[in-house]
Amino acid sequence: MALTRIIHWLGNSFVICAVLMAVPAVSSFLMLDISSVMALSAGSLGVGVLGLILIWTTQNTPAQETKADALLFLLLFWLLMPAIMALPYLTLNAVPDLTSAYFEAVSAFTTTGASALNPDVLPKSLLLWRSLIQWFGGICVATFAVVILAALNLAGTGVHRSMLFTLDKEELFARLTSIGQIVAGVYTFLAALCFMSLMLTGTELFSALCLSLSGVSTGGLMPHSGPMSHYVGRFGAFFLAIFTVLGAMNISILWDFFRLRKWRSFLALFRSVESRGLFVLAASLFVLGLVMVGPAQVYTLFIESLFFVSTAGFDYDVIGLEMLPSAVLIAVALIGGSALSTAGGVKIIRLLLLFRHLFTDLGRLTHPSRLIPVTFKGQQIADNAFLSIWMYFFGYTLFFGLAILTLGATGLGFEDAVVTGAASISNMGPLLPATFPESGLTYADFTGAQKIASAFFMLVGRVEVLAVLILFIPSFWQR
């Protein structure tokens, strides 16, 4: 195993984190917040030096790695990066202990959007920091899906494969840089467009910046407490909802549109089976909301339906989707968005593939002597290729059950454990306040054990459950 190669790329990751940490340090300097400047600058310098040491000591490592190396890097990356990103929470005295800092960092970096903190009392430098790490987390999610998860699932149904995925003679880790640049370019452009749209529609500059970074990454954290309607107008919320849905769309289709800049590639954004699935889910929530809440809240229901299916889950007004049954909201959150996107959940394409497999099997039962192939998007898919998806659903269900048991063991009631488990593993933190727990539970009420348990399942949802389960298969490491 190429451990030095893994350490080398972790060092590169720490340097990127140090550069990101310098951004709120500069903004604090412009706002004359000297204490924040000192704390963030010291953190940026320390993390940067650590990263450079790791890079320098492993610079002569062989430029070759296996899939097992890539998987180990993926797991270590998601475990260690939040620990580094937790430093500003501690140095700015925003949290009481390391556990709370790690929980907040994991929630932001995995684009979950669960927070025990009141944004109205946090320094602006910290609000900007958590918005930045949501944006960076979204880039990492999409990049790892295109490169590492696609490489691990070459024999499957191609959930993670796209025109962006190529191995050829190029090393696997080097693809992280080239693909990461493409993904970062797309999401930076979308965030810039979202920022300008919010500014032009009257949103205050700092709120527009934080919301654009959080929205494109489908992160869910907001710069102010309370409903968004208090500081974002209707037109601004409409544009923000559009960009959250774009963040939940397949990155390869978005890149194709920006690369070709043709009308046909623009229409592909809406013709994609995953995009149509998002629209159907949003329309279903909207119609159900109209039935249960009434037409008086038609605009709020429309906006919040788009927010919800993207897994951003922003709360626009007091009365909205939270009036729907909790079971419906949990189900939609667990479904999630597109496979190659910043959204969480099981992913729409997996459900569509399994339904297609189910209907084909039902057809075989009625005509047992006929050969009925499984077709999807004009291609025939072998039955054995569905094994990875069935295993994924088994693993996802297993970890969802473990989340409920673990959170229940920490003292949560059954209903609270179910909602918190679903919010964690689907990476949709706003699901908890949206379901109005009868116990009145909020993230601020979480104990240290509950924060650690929730953070663990956020990470499981982000690395995808099979990447965790495969750790326990000795033959994978032997190969």
Distance CA 476, CA 479 (A): 5
**Segments in the chain below pLDDT 70:** 1, 62-65, 150-172, 265, 359, 361-385, 474-479
Note the pLDDT tens digit of each residue in 120-169: 999 999 999 999 999 999 999 988 888 877 666 544 445 545 455 454 44
| Domain positions in the chain | 360-478
CA 50 to chain centre: 27
Query: What's residue 463's pLDDT?
Result: 85
Contact 427, 458 (CB under 8 A): yes
pTM above 0.75, yes or no: yes
CA 239 to chain centre: 20
Burial class (CB in 10 A: 0-12, 13-18, 19+), 201: middle
Query: What's residue 21's pLDDT?
Result: 95
